[in-house]
Structure 1
């Protein structure tokens, strides 16, 4: 599977990035998001997508999902992530064991973005919170 993209300099230290078949663009650098922060968000987006799809296939009554992510980077160059923590907040009457299984499948098998972070040597940890209708 081939993916093509382009980053074009706008001015100063601002760039516009787009993926050929994506139909949308993103501002990088000044006035936008840094590439390393975008990488972190990519991990969150990738695993969120996986967990949502897995829980739907499990026919769990998921009503919402938030993924919070934080990372620590090396001080020296290249300033790769050394630690990443992912917190999953799942809304609905979802069984905890099913939610944990969905997260494990995402982290161990499906999330390509997490795999890239792990291959660079980062320690990836995660936690889970289930918010049921009566918890709000």
Structure 2
């Protein structure tokens, strides 16, 4: 079992600073920073982006870049958890479409722990992707 420790410290007003032990950066929460729920959404995007790049590299695909756009819809009633999330992957390079789709599926179905947490809370997570070759037009795939 892996244990992770962190600390959030109230600065003043509605501002807090959070840090995970041994990490080199801190995050400002609340006033002047990012809300915890937006940070959660960004964590999902970062988690799946990392997975997809590592998987495509392992597949020896010529990935040149990746952008992940994410949007979430929250419930109106408390607790205001995410009920729907959509992730759009923009993959740059001459990457094989079947391998790109497989990398995304592996991230979403097996590796991305942040996404799994939201799915366990009942959020519907969907995704779409496009591949933008090194020199040419993008390949748009079906939404999932």
Both structures adopt the same fold (TM-score exceeding 0.5): yes
* Equivalent residue runs for 1:89-128 within 5 Å: 89-128=90-129
Q: 2 CA distance for matches of 1:111 and 1:131?
A: 24
Counterpart residue number, 2:4: 3
1:18-97 aligned within 5 A: 18-97=19-98
Q: TM-score scaled to structure 1, two decimals?
A: 0.98
Structure 2: gaps (5+ residues): 138-144
The two structures, once aligned, show a CA RMSD in angstroms of 0.7
Report how many aligned residue pairs link the two structures: 136
Higher relative contact order (CA 8 A, sep 6+): 1
1:30-66 alpha-carbon deviations (Å, 9 max, x no partner): 0000000000000000000000000000000000000
Q: Deviations over 1:14-35 (max 9, x none)?
A: 0000000212101000000000
Distance in 2 (CA, whole Å) between partners of 1:85 and 1:15 is 28
- Between the aligned partners of 2:38 and 2:110, the Cα distance in structure 1 is 23
Consecutive unaligned residues in structure 1, runs of 5 or more: none
Residues in 2 aligned to 1:7 and 1:34: alpha-carbon distance in whole angstroms: 13
